[in-house]
Amino acid sequence: MQKLLLLGAEAVAQGAIDGGMSGIYAYPGTPSTEITEYVQNSKAADERKIHSQWSANEKTAMEAALGMSYAGKRAMVCMKHVGLNVAADAFINSAITGVNGGLIVTVADDPSMHSSQNEQDSRFFGKFAMIPILEPSNQQEAYDMAYEGFMLSEKFKLPVLLRFTTRLSHSRAGVQTKEIKEQNPLTYPEDPIQFVLLPSNARKRFKGLLAAQDSIEVDSEKSKHNVYLDGNDKSLGIIACGIAYNYLTENYPDRNCRYPILKLGQYPLPYSKVEKIVHECEKVLVLEDGYPLLKNS
């Protein structure tokens, strides 16, 4: 364990390496490219024989990561937001098939289109797929969420979407690493038919996905990434999602904000915490780096 100075994208990569990842697959696209590049240049990844490969496109990268997950290994697939459109077929279906080894779908969004042809918010894709979503507010959380995301994926046997944005991906901060986990052994799935989405089987799998939603919501309610920070002045309550929490705290160098803050980093939304700040405060300010997912929920 050590402290490293890392870009947000590099923190995701290091977290995945330390979290027991066996393979990473990607199609290059700023601001996500540095994740895979970091793994490919990592001595630790080389020593652990982590399979790393650039794919023909985002869909084939998604399918390669799924294949490794189906075999029981932990895998990550990386792309930028427009790439998720290309991978959408396999991505949505992966929520129906479920996974065997932990699978993290890492998507770097690009608000303000610094290097992109459009602006999208991948949280809507995750909500549509009905899978857990993680959104870090800083580089340390980017590391932690990649490190722990495999466990969350294996808990629900579903892929997990890890969404972050350009300003987190391309800025640096100190990151405290954790104990390196062993990679998963190859394991044969209990029900390999789950990966065959013939309509008769897909209908059964979809019912299972719907049935899991209550448990996923409970996990989000209890998540350490969703924190209510009380304040004395109830004239305003602030809900800050992901890196928007960092934007907020930059206005308070001493971190002493007089208003209550609900810091969100895991979805589905923790509705009890949202209701608490809405009922306690006269007005609510919602901060999101992207589209108004929370505001429209």
CB 101 within 8 A of CB 211: no
Which residues of the chain, if any, have pLDDT below 70?
Answer: none
Judge contact between 91 and 125, C-beta under 8 A.
yes
Please write the tens of the pLDDT for every residue from 151-206: 999 999 999 999 999 999 999 999 999 999 999 999 988 888 999 999 999 999 99
Quick one: pLDDT at residue 1?
77
Beta carbons of 12 and 170 less than 8 angstroms apart: no
What pLDDT is recorded for position 183?
98
Q: What is the pLDDT of residue 268?
A: 96
What is the per-residue pLDDT for 97? 96
In a domain, 32, yes or no: yes
Which amino acid, residue 102? G
Q: CB within 8 A of 224, min separation 6: which ones? A: none
Domain boundary among 188, 211, 234: 211
Do 166 and 54 belong to one domain?
yes
Which structural domain range is residue 233 located in?
Answer: 224-287
In this predicted structure, what is the pLDDT of residue 190? Answer: 83
DSSP assigned state of 185: P
Rounded Cα–Cα distance for residues 265 and 243 (Å):
9
- Residues 10 and 39: their CA atoms lie apart, in Å, by 8
**What's the pLDDT score for residue 74?**
98
CATH number, residue 32: 3.40.50.970
Last residue of a domain, one of 176, 211, 246: 211
Same domain, 183 and 279: no
pLDDT of residue 93: 97
pLDDT value of residue 72: 97
Provide the whole-model pTM. Answer: 0.96
What is the pLDDT at residue 265?
Answer: 98
- 94 and 66 in contact (C-beta within 8 Å)? yes
